[in-house]
């Protein structure tokens, strides 16, 4: 999804263009509007802007000055100047800037639409994998270093211990040529790649490399970053502002990282045909807290809502996600148990059952050869993992016999015991799926209720995402997946329904009805109402009297 910001101090032009573009590509183009350069800068501080359509001559700060500010916020943003001025000076100054086009107001909506669609095609071309890879070859050489990757994996597990040896800590960064500052706070992002069933290890490795390269190209501007693969085969990004960005990572930098990850997520689909779920820090943490923050992101990913393939969650808190849980959970060593735990936490039922079947078969074979102690230990290790999951998710009220997990002697055989583990695992996955669907339905109901109660206020995708703590693009996909229609279409239907109710009251003027459903200008409301119903507001009101 791309985001277009329309800026003009003449509200009739701003509202008219907003109405045209809001219905141009629902679900693909998110449209925002501003009536001044100051208001436009506020939008850019809140969310990523891909295209800005702005008048040149505006009071306070003109469009040319605004475009210079844009480059500070979002360097990739494309600018289209829309103006009635034809003086050579304005045109000449405009075409000297990068990512800028120039359209006269007199050329009409068709020309403006063509310019925006052309810019969208240009953006998509810019994000093509081959071009991005060519731009980032030199940067990619450093992140592929095996020593750097291994060291940062160690940091994920023992950041507090490593930071205690301050001199050695700095020396490690210098000797390994890690392009991050060991004294500067760092933002973490966790990425989960959804692979097709049956893919080979080589195919998965190729996808990981392509995703890392694509991500690196997106983070070339305004940041220094590294991406590694953790022990759970998930991608971890370490992100800091580039050296020329002074001060601590502020609110805008966090928004910039979020917006860049959002674009990267969409580029993975369009360029690689590969979906990736993202979970991002809500703040930049000190290096000694990296292990804690990393484990928190994994917990947040575990509690994901909706479509896990395209989820984008940003952490909103600084504290512990699960009160009372300190330190790391203790499970018996062994790759099989780690793999089972990862599948259970990530909601991958098929993979969990396949791996459990492998472990069960292996243990039952050992039992026949007299290795009873190892088999019993393995059973209890897996049982404890399932037991802990049930307690953590509060599923004990649904699985009333879960206590049998820790009583192997109640099963007639080891084989029956492992069959019970499989049965319990299936029940956990079933309840988790039901719970996620319930949370999704509840959240959608809350969003719908908010919209219905605030039709006269700002209902832009960016504003709704701020209120409900969603990433804008994810909110759009999430809503459509749940309701089957675009968010903008739902808002329009609510506005029409409310407008019809108000028009039945003859003492309300059309302008008053327009304001009640979010339209500042009565003529914009009239065009909208006629497009949706085939009648103007007055014609609809007259038809009620005739009826």
Per-residue pLDDT, 211: 92
Per residue, what are the HEC states of 149-180? Answer: HHHHHHHHHHHHHHHHCHHHHHHHHHHCCCCC
Is residue 27 a contact partner of residue 473, using CB atoms and an 8 Å limit?
no
CATH code of the domain made up of 2-126: 3.40.50.2300
In the block, residue with structure tokens 């307690």: 391
- Round to whole Å and give the CA distance between 337 and 96: 60
Retrieve residue 252's tokens: 């805008």
**What 3-state DSSP class applies to 189?**
strand
Is residue 279 a contact partner of residue 235, using CB atoms and an 8 Å limit?
no
Closest of 277, 275, 313, 276 to residue 296, by C-alpha: 313
| Choice between 527 and 303, residue whose per-residue pLDDT is larger | 527
Q: What is the pLDDT of residues 285-295, one digit of tens each?
A: 999 999 988 98
What CATH superfamily classification does 454-546 receive? Answer: Homeodomain-like (1.10.10.60)
What residue segments make up the domains of the chain, in order of their start? 2-126, 145-314, 335-436, 454-546
- Round to whole Å and give the CA distance between 93 and 186: 39
What are the backbone dihedrals phi and psi of residue 96, each rounded to the nearest 5 degrees, phi first? Answer: -75, -15
Mean per-residue pLDDT of the chain: 82
- Round to whole Å and give the CA distance between 348 and 502: 50
Per-residue pLDDT, 24: 85
Q: Do domains 2-126 and 145-314 have the same CATH topology?
A: no
Does the pLDDT value for residue 212 go beyond 80? yes
Per-residue pLDDT, 321: 38
Average pLDDT rounded to a whole number, residues 335-344: 81
Q: What is the pLDDT of residues 162-180, one digit of tens each?
A: 888 888 999 999 888 898 9
User: What CA–CA distances, in Å, run from 162 to 4, 152, 189, 190, 297?
Assistant: 45, 11, 21, 21, 21
Beta-carbon contacts of 23 under 8 Å, excluding residues fewer than 6 positions away, are: 488, 531
Per-residue pLDDT, 346: 77
Handedness of CA 66, 67, 71, 76 (dihedral sign): positive
What are the backbone dihedrals phi and psi of residue 509, each rounded to the nearest 5 degrees, phi first? Answer: -75, 160
pLDDT-based confidence at residue 422 (cuts at 50, 70, 90) = very high
What share of the chain in percent tops pLDDT 90?
A: 25
Environment class of 409 (CB within 10 Å of its CB; exposed 0-12, middle 13-18, buried 19+): exposed
Does the pLDDT value for residue 113 go beyond 80? yes
Closest of 464, 27, 44, 45 to residue 54, by C-alpha: 44
Q: What is the torsion angle, in degrees rounded to the nearest 10, for the CA atoms of residue 450, residue 455, residue 458 and residue 460?
A: 70
Beta-carbon contacts of 55 under 8 Å, excluding residues fewer than 6 positions away, are: 7, 8, 9, 10, 13, 63, 81, 82, 83
Q: What is the pLDDT of residues 324-336, one digit of tens each?
A: 333 333 333 456 7
The DSSP code sequence of 110-151 is HHHHHHHHHHHHHHHHHT-HHHHHHHTHHHHHHHT-HHHHHH
Chain centre distance of CA 230? 20
- Round to whole Å and give the CA distance between 214 and 271: 9
Alpha helix (H) ranges present in 369-471? 372-393, 414-453, 461-468
Per-residue pLDDT, 33: 92
Retrieve residue 385's tokens: 């993992």
Is residue 188 a contact partner of residue 227, using CB atoms and an 8 Å limit?
no
pLDDT-based confidence at residue 370 (cuts at 50, 70, 90) = very low
Does the pLDDT value for residue 369 go beyond 90? no
User: What CA–CA distances, in Å, run from 204 to 102, 192, 273?
Assistant: 45, 12, 13
What CATH superfamily classification does 145-314 receive? Answer: Reverse transcriptase/Diguanylate cyclase domain (3.30.70.270)
């Amino acid at each position: 999804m791309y985001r277009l910001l329309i800026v003009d101090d003449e509200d009739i032009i701003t509202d008219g263009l907003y109405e045209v573009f809001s219905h141009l590509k629902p679900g693909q183009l998110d449209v925002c509007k501003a009536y001044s350069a100051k208001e436009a800068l506020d939008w850019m501080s809140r969310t990523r802007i891909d295209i800005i359509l702005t008048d040149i001559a505006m009071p306070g700060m003109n469009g040319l000055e605004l475009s210079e500010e844009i480059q500070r916020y979002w360097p990739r943003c494309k600018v289209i100047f829309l103006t009635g001025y034809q003086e050579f000076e304005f045109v000449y100054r405009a075409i000297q800037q990068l990512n800028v086009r120039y359209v006269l107001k007199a050329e009409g909506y068709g020309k403006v639409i063509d310019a925006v669609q052309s810019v969208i095609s240009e953006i998509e071309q810019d994000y093509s994998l081959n071009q991005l890879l060519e731009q980032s070859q030199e940067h990619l050489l450093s992140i592929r270093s095996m020593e750097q990757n291994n060291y940062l994996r160690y940091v994920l597990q023992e950041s507090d211990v490593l930071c205690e040896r301050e001199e050695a800590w700095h020396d490690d960064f210098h000797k390994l040529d890690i392009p991050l500052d060991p004294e500067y706070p760092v933002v973490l992002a966790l990425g989960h790649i959804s692979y097709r069933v049956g893919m080979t290890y080589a195919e998965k490795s190729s996808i990981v490399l392509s995703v890392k390269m694509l991500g690196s190209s997106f983070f070339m501007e305004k940041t220094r970053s590294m991406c590694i693969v953790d022990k759970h085969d998930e991608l971890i990004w370490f992100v800091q502002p580039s050296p020329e960005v002074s001060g601590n990572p502020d609110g805008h930098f966090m928004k910039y990282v979020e917006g860049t990850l959002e674009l990267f997520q969409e580029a993975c689909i369009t360029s690689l045909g590969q979906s990736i779920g993202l979970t991002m820090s809500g703040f930049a943490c000190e290096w000694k807290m990296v292990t804690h923050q990393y484990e928190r992101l994994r917990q947040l990913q575990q509690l994901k809502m909706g479509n896990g393939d395209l989820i984008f969650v940003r952490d909103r808190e600084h504290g512990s996600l699960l009160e009372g849980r300190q330190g790391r959970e203790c499970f018996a060593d062994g790759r099989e148990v780690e793999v089972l735990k990862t599948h259970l936490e990530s909601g991958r039922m098929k993979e969990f059952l396949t791996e459990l079947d492998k472990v069960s078969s292996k243990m039952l074979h050992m039992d026949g050869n007299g290795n009873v102690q190892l088999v019993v230990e393995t059973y209890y290790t897996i049982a404890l993992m399932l037991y802990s999951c049930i307690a953590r998710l509060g599923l004990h009220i649904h699985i009333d016999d879960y206590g049998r997990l820790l009583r192997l002697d109640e099963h007639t055989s080891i084989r029956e015991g492992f069959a019970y583990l499989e049965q319990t695992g299936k029940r956990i996955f079933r309840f988790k799926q039901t719970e996620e669907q319930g949370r999704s339905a509840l959240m959608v109901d809350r969003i719908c209720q908010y919209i219905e109660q605030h039709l006269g206020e700002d209902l832009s995708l960016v504003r709704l995402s701020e209120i409900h703590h969603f990433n804008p693009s994810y909110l759009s996909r999430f809503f459509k997946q749940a309701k089957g229609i675009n968010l903008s279409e739902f808002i329009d239907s609510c506005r029409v329904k409310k407008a019809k109710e108000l028009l039945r009251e003859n003492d309300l003027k059309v302008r008053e009805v327009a304001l009640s459903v979010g339209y500042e200008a009565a003529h914009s409301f009239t065009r909208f109402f006629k497009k949706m119903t085939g009648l103007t507001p007055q014609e609809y009101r007259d038809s009620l009297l005739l009826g």
